[in-house]
Structure formats: structure tokens, C-alpha cells
């Protein structure tokens, strides 16, 4: 039997966690997420993106840069 584990060990995350996905190259969506994280006192290290970061048009490079930041 072949078992493939694509899991990612995040270790222990203390405090609240913000999970989001699908900004689709919209820099405004990332800015809004970061605003909410700050408003709720959630450290950026506890913000987890589930994917669908870029798509056509909008601001793909800037969106990726903000996610990596």
C-alpha cells in the first residue's frame, strides 16, 4: 500500500488562528484580511492561507508578496 502524506506540520500555534483562502490576486482582499487579523489581535504567523492565491489580472505579484510577508 502506498501512502502519501502531504501534511504540513505547523507545530503549535498559540492563540487565535485566522484561516483564509481564495484571494485570487486581489490585493484588497489580502489587505482586508490583514486588517481583520490586526483588529482581532491575531499575529500574522497565525494566519493560514489555504490556497488559490493568484489568478488572471488584478495584482498577482503584489498579492503573493503580501502572503509571503
In a domain, 5, yes or no: no
Residues in CB range of 67: below 8 A, 6 or more apart: 23, 30, 49, 53
In a domain, 49, yes or no: yes
pLDDT digits (tens), the chain, 69 positions: 666 667 778 788 889 999 988 888 888 888 999 999 999 999 988 998 888 888 877 888 888 898 888
> What is the residue range of 29's domain?
18-68
Would you give the end-to-end CA distance of the chain in angstroms? 39
In a domain, 62, yes or no: yes
Number of domains present in the structure of the chain: 1
In a domain, 2, yes or no: no
In a domain, 11, yes or no: no
* Segments of the chain assigned E as strands: 18-20, 47-49
In a domain, 12, yes or no: no
* Residue 3 grid cell: 501512502
In a domain, 4, yes or no: no
In a domain, 64, yes or no: yes
Note the pLDDT of residue 4: 63
**What pTM did the predictor assign?**
0.72
Nearest 5°: phi and psi at 34? Answer: -65, -35
**SS3 label, residue 64:** helix
Note the pLDDT of residue 63: 87
Note the pLDDT of residue 2: 62
Amino acid at each position: 500500500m502506498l501512502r502519501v502524506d502531504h501534511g504540513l506540520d505547523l507545530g503549535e500555534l498559540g492563540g487565535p488562528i485566522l484561516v483564509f483562502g481564495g484571494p485570487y490576486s486581489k490585493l484588497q482582499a489580502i489587505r482586508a484580511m490583514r486588517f481583520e487579523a490586526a483588529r482581532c489581535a491575531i499575529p500574522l504567523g497565525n494566519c493560514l492561507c489555504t490556497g488559490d492565491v493568484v489568478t488572471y489580472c488584478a495584482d498577482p505579484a503584489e498579492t503573493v508578496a503580501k502572503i509571503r510577508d
